[in-house]
Amino acid sequence: MAASLLRTVCRRCILFQASTSLKTKAHGLTQVPLVTAYRGLRLQNGPLCHGEYEWQDPKSEDEVVKITYITKHGTATQIKGKVGDNVMYLAHRYEIEVEGACEASLACCTCHVYVKDGYFDLLPEPKEEEEDMLDMAPFLKPNSRLSCQIILTKELDGLEVTLPTATRNFYVDGHVPEPH
pLDDT digits (tens, 9 = 90+) for 140-163: 999 999 999 999 999 999 999 999
CA distance 159 to 64: 12
Report pLDDT for 145: 98
Q: What is the pLDDT of residues 53-64, one digit of tens each?
A: 777 888 888 999
Expressed in percent and rounded to 5, the helix, strand and coil fractions of the chain are 30, 15, 55
For the stretch 70-100, pLDDT in tens is 999 999 999 999 999 999 999 999 999 999 8
Q: What percent of the chain has pLDDT over 90?
A: 53
Task: Tell me the pairing of strands 112-115 and 159-162.
Answer: antiparallel
